[in-house]
Amino acid sequence: MFGFFKDKFNNLKETVSNTAQALVGNVVNSVSQEEEFSQFVLDDMEDMLISADLGVNYASELVDKLRNQTKVKPSEVKNYLKQEFLKTLNEAGDNNINYVDDALNIYFICGVNGVGKTTLIGKLAYKFKNEGKKVLIAAGDTFRAAAEEQLDIWSKRAGADIIRRDKADPASVVFEAIDKTQKEQFDVILVDTAGRLQNKFNLMEELKKIKSVIEKKAPDALRECMLVLDANTGQNGLQQAKVFMEAVNLTSVALTKLDGSAKGAIVLAVAKEMKLPVKLIGVGEKMEDLKSFSSQDFIEAIFE
């Protein structure tokens, strides 16, 4: 079906090389020569995992399992981490983006300001168009002055249709978009949303309102409620995931700006704490810089 989503990510290893060094390289270098998992070695390992943005809880859980046991030796620490990380990612769910043939597929994209929501929508529109799908973008960020023009440019580049209404209520823009697709048979609606309103409460209320319009007007069409996280924000991403989860009940994560980031371990922290699978990764600013995410490939890439 989706050639694009099945694409192997050629440069994945290069993209995650900084993350791999922070998360695996440093730990393996300092631990694997040791005779035993002494208190000192374990403390050191825990510090390294925390500074690689794995999160305090997860880091201490991993280290605690190595305490007072003889099964895993320091020389096997690399394989130990590999198995643990893979298990965490697998338990968070399927990496494939949900899509149903011959039906309307709505993707609700949210996240704090500047993480790359609008860019992700442009890239997704382009990919769906390349797959021969009929795509409509709903410009649900009517708050930021330049947001709709930015989406206009992306939609033209991608060859997708767009619904935009300056200063209108975002929920009404989404209502109109669904209306159009019901009359004209579209495959996909991509809903862009604001990242910043006057305050967090207002933003969450607005997102809830948009989501309830989707659920009322097109029940069963919402395929993903996707949180966009900037790979460089590290642990803050976990906090963001909690807030958005509470407001709109997320189904997945897109991780942007993974190119060059050393903090890609946020993928694991979010999988562990939130049970949310990463489905897409942004690896640059161009249209084609969007890739599918595979837990297996990611693990292979960071462990070589």
Ligand X SMILES: Nc1nc2c(ncn2[C@@H]2O[C@H](COP(=O)(O)OP(=O)(O)OP(=O)(O)O)[C@@H](O)[C@H]2O)c(=O)[nH]1
Which stretches of the chain bind Mg ion, using CB under 5 A?
Answer: 117-118
Task: Give which of Mg ion, ligand X, none residue 142 binds (C-beta under 5 to 8 Å, depending on kind).
Answer: none
- Number of Cβ within 10 Å of residue 72's Cβ equals 14
Task: Name the minimum Å distance from CB 256 to ligand X.
Answer: 4
144 forms part of the interface with ligand X (CB under 6 A):
yes
Question: Contacting ligand X (CB under 6 A), which of 88, 95, 119, 252?
Answer: 119
Number of residues this chain uses to bind ligand X (CB under 6 A): 20
147 forms part of the interface with ligand X (CB under 6 A):
yes
Q: 270 near 241, Cβ under 8 Å?
A: yes
Strands of the sheet with 135-140, listed across from one edge: 161-163, 135-140, 188-193, 105-110, 222-230, 252-256, 278-282, 290-292
114 forms part of the interface with ligand X (CB under 6 A):
yes
**Rounded to an integer, what distance in angstroms lies between the CA atom of residue 22 and that of residue 15?**
13
Task: Give which of Mg ion, ligand X, none residue 285 binds (C-beta under 5 to 8 Å, depending on kind).
Answer: ligand X
Nearer to Mg ion, 49 or 112 (CB): 112
Candidates 45-53, 112-120, 125-133, 205-213 — which segment interacts with ligand X by CB under 6 A? Answer: 112-120
237 forms part of the interface with ligand X (CB under 6 A):
no
Binding mask 259-288 for ligand X (x = CB under 6 A): x----------------------xxxx---
Question: Contacting ligand X (CB under 6 A), which of 32, 79, 98, 113?
Answer: 113
Angstrom distances, CA of residue 280 to CA of 49, 100, 127, 210 = 24, 18, 12, 22
**Rounded to an integer, what distance in angstroms lies between the CA atom of residue 166 and that of residue 286?**
26
Task: Give which of ligand X, Mg ion, none residue 93 binds (C-beta under 5 to 8 Å, depending on kind).
Answer: none
**Rounded to an integer, what distance in angstroms lies between the CA atom of residue 55 and that of residue 238?**
9
**Rounded to an integer, what distance in angstroms lies between the CA atom of residue 225 and that of residue 222?**
7
141 forms part of the interface with ligand X (CB under 6 A):
yes
The residues in 192-231 that bind ligand X, with binding defined as CB under 6 A, are: 195
Enumerate residues 6+ apart whose C-beta is below 8 A from 5: 96, 97, 127, 292
Task: Give which of Mg ion, ligand X, none residue 115 binds (C-beta under 5 to 8 Å, depending on kind).
Answer: ligand X
Task: Give which of ligand X, Mg ion, none residue 283 binds (C-beta under 5 to 8 Å, depending on kind).
Answer: ligand X
Nearer to ligand X, 277 or 282 (CB): 282
Sign of CA dihedral 238, 239, 244, 245: positive
Q: Which residue is nearest to Mg ion (CB)?
A: 118
Task: Name the minimum Å distance from CB 117 to Mg ion.
Answer: 5
Phi, psi angles (nearest 5°) of residue 222: -75, 110
- Number of Cβ within 10 Å of residue 122's Cβ equals 26
Strands (E), 9-133: 105-110
116 forms part of the interface with ligand X (CB under 6 A):
yes
Task: Give which of Mg ion, ligand X, none residue 119 binds (C-beta under 5 to 8 Å, depending on kind).
Answer: ligand X
Binding mask 18-47 for ligand X (x = CB under 6 A): ------------------------------
Enumerate residues 6+ apart whose C-beta is below 8 A from 64: none
Name which of 280, 243, 249 is nearest 117 in CA terms: 280
Residues lying near ligand X in the complex (CB under 6 A) are found at: 111, 113-119, 141, 144, 147, 195, 256-257, 259, 282-285, 289
